[in-house]
Amino acid sequence: MQYAWLIWSLILIAVWLVIYATLNTKDKKYEMLVVSFWTSLLGFTEPFFVPEYWNPPSLFDLAQRTGFDIESLIFSFGIGGIAVVLYEQIFRAEHQVMSQKERHHIRHRYHFWAIVSAPIIFIILLLTTNLNPIYSASVAMIVGGLFAWYCRPDLKKKMIASAFIFLALYFLYFLTLIAMYPGYVERIWNLPAISGILILGVPLEELMFALSFGFIWSSIYEHFTWRALK
């Protein structure tokens, strides 16, 4: 099981490549690639979760020695791009640049705070509560997503649909890990520190993460580029 985390991350990249190849416009491919690149930086948050949430064997034993690992960067790259384009690919949505009038709507006074709210909430919860980091992350993403929704109500359909689409895809993806490595979840996840509830072998917290991540991350590109869907 030494390379399970690496192999599982590479499977996600295979899924990423399939979705990328089916995108029908250069704009969508650019969106997926750029968001994936920036999302990969979330891999550097891994020390918050090791070993409090899980403790996976990693390349060069980096996770055990430093808290960081290469696999987290690969994994974060994959989920970022997938979450942001699923809705557009399924429903054939396209982007258009928002007008100056739309940009100056009163809701956009809080645009900056909507973008940075999730990491701020995550840090506050880490410092002020005894919550497992996975719960802090999920709460932060849901609340941050609601702030984003307030600023950009035009994205609510994409955000809600993307949350459940990404949840379904992530659930199926997680089942590949269980199929390849029976007992891996029980050995690697810190189940006594979380709910311990498994749904077909998948920790409930992983599904919470997928739902909250799909909810907030599906709107991230439109926020930074002032794009709207048409």
CB 201 within 8 A of CB 185: yes
Q: Which pLDDT score is estimated for 113?
A: 86
Q: 227 pairs with which residues across the strands?
A: 97
Per-residue pLDDT of the chain (230 residues; tens, 9 = 90+): 789 999 999 999 999 999 999 998 999 999 999 999 999 999 999 999 999 999 999 998 888 888 889 999 999 999 999 999 999 999 988 888 877 667 666 776 777 888 899 999 999 999 999 999 999 999 999 999 999 999 889 899 999 999 999 999 999 999 999 999 999 999 999 999 999 999 999 999 999 999 999 999 999 999 888 888 88
What total of structural domains would you count in the chain? 1
Q: Which pLDDT score is estimated for 142?
A: 97
Q: DSSP character for 119?
A: H
Residue range 41-53, pLDDT digits in tens:
999 999 999 999 9
Q: Look up the domain containing 174 and give its range.
A: 4-229
Residue range 169-184, pLDDT digits in tens:
999 999 999 999 999 9
Q: Which pLDDT score is estimated for 107?
A: 72
Q: Which pLDDT score is estimated for 11?
A: 96
Q: 54 pairs with which residues across the strands?
A: 189
Reduced to 3 states, what is the DSSP secondary structure of residue 227? strand
- ∠ CA 53-45-11, nearest 5°, is 75
